[in-house]
């Protein structure tokens, strides 16, 4: 799957990059309050605001990003997210995109994308010194990546993402601010997992609509 496979021309690809960014910006804006509410329950209440700021910054640069080769665009987009989301999530989302960009530069073949994504998720885990099962956005990224490696189609990946975030409700937070709550974090969905599910779902739907596999 992914950007490099869908379009038939550089123009299609640029338009697709703009559409994906716009869709991500919209879904985060729609869910800003919800993401802040989730973060208020187990953190400091700013996750929705942080993510909206990040996606607004990305949208402001979408034309410039769309004019770049996909690998360079991903690295540039990751840098923008690190600087604009801030908090704990900024460097993690930024690492994901930057590592995908580096991976695509080395492995531009679309068939290799699941491996590139898996490596990028591993880099996020190293950056956060965290593992799946610790109630973070990695609890979406890991199973999402595993499903991609198994060859799941985009529509299936989109449908699965929210379920991965739901599973964090029963987990005890081991990383980030929520970890200060210990057992009291159980019973709440992790805000980073929630935003990650929304974004994964949105990207997959946009790519599926554009005719990617
Ligand atoms: P902050 O905690 O600095 O206010 P945000 O509220 O924007 O930042 O993001 C919080 C989210 O970041 C959490 O819900 C969690 O998913 C993710 N997170 C925090 N620390 C880590 C970590 N060490 N590893 C992976 N994810 C983390
Ligand atoms: Mg927060």
Residues 29-56 pLDDT 10s: 999 999 999 999 999 999 999 999 999 9
CA of 176, closest atom in ligand 1: 20
12 band by pLDDT with thresholds 50, 70 and 90: confident
Supply the DSSP symbol for 31: T
- Give the residue whose CA is nearest to atom 5 of ligand 1: 47
Q: What separation in angstroms does the CA of 66 have from each of 8, 21, 89, 109?
A: 15, 10, 24, 19
Number of other residues whose CB lies within 10 A of the CB of residue 81: 26
> What's the average model confidence in pLDDT over 83-100?
97
Give CA–CA dist 126/138, Å, rounded.
Answer: 11
Is the minimum distance from the CB of 32 to ligand 1 under 6 angstroms?
A: no
Q: What pLDDT is attached to residue 6?
A: 46
> What's the average model confidence in pLDDT over 71-97?
97
Q: Domains in the chain, start-ordered, CATH in brackets?
A: 10-210 (1.25.40.340)
116 band by pLDDT with thresholds 50, 70 and 90: very high
CA of 177, closest atom in ligand 1: 2
Query: In what helix (H) or strand (E) does residue 46 lie, and over which residues does it extend?
Result: none
Give CA–CA dist 183/3, Å, rounded.
Answer: 41
Is the minimum distance from the CB of 46 to ligand 1 under 6 angstroms?
A: yes
Give CA–CA dist 197/174, Å, rounded.
Answer: 20
Give CA–CA dist 103/193, Å, rounded.
Answer: 23
Is the minimum distance from the CB of 2 to ligand 1 under 6 angstroms?
A: no
Q: What pLDDT is attached to residue 11?
A: 60
Is the minimum distance from the CB of 94 to ligand 1 under 6 angstroms?
A: no
> What's the average model confidence in pLDDT over 56-76?
97
Q: What is the mean pLDDT of the chain?
A: 94
Is the minimum distance from the CB of 44 to ligand 1 under 6 angstroms?
A: yes
13 band by pLDDT with thresholds 50, 70 and 90: confident
The DSSP-derived string for 122-185 is HHHHHHHT--TTSSSTHHHHHHHHHHHHTT--HHHHHHHHHHHHHGGGGSPP-SSGGGGGGGGG
Task: Note whether 65 and 17 are within 8 A (CB).
Answer: yes
> What's the average model confidence in pLDDT over 202-208?
96
Query: How many angstroms separate the alpha carbon of residue 158 from the centre of ligand 1?
Result: 22
- Is this structure's pTM higher than 0.85? yes
């Amino acid at each position: 799957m992914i950007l490099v496979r869908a379009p038939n021309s550089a123009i299609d690809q640029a338009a697709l990059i703009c559409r994906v960014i716009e869709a991500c910006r919209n879904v985060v804006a729609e869910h800003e309050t919800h993401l802040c509410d989730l973060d208020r329950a187990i953190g400091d209440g700013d996750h929705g605001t942080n993510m909206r700021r990040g996606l607004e910054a990305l949208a402001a640069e979408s034309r410039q990003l769309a004019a770049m080769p996909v690998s360079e665009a991903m690295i540039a987009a990751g840098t923008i997210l690190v600087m604009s989301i801030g908090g704990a999530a900024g460097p993690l989302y930024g690492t994901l995109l930057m590592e995908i960009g580096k991976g695509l530069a080395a492995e531009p073949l679309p068939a290799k994308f699941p491996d590139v994504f898996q490596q990028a998720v591993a880099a996020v885990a190293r950056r956060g010194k965290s593992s799946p099962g610790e109630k973070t956005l990695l609890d979406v990224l890991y199973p999402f990546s595993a499903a991609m490696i198994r060859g799941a189609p985009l529509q299936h990946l989109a449908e699965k993402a929210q379920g991965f975030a739901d599973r964090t409700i029963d987990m005890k937070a081991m990383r980030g601010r929520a970890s200060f709550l210990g057992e009291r974090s159980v019973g709440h969905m992790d805000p980073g997992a929630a935003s990650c599910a929304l974004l994964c779902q949105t990207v997959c739907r946009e790519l599926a609509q554009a005719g990617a596999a």
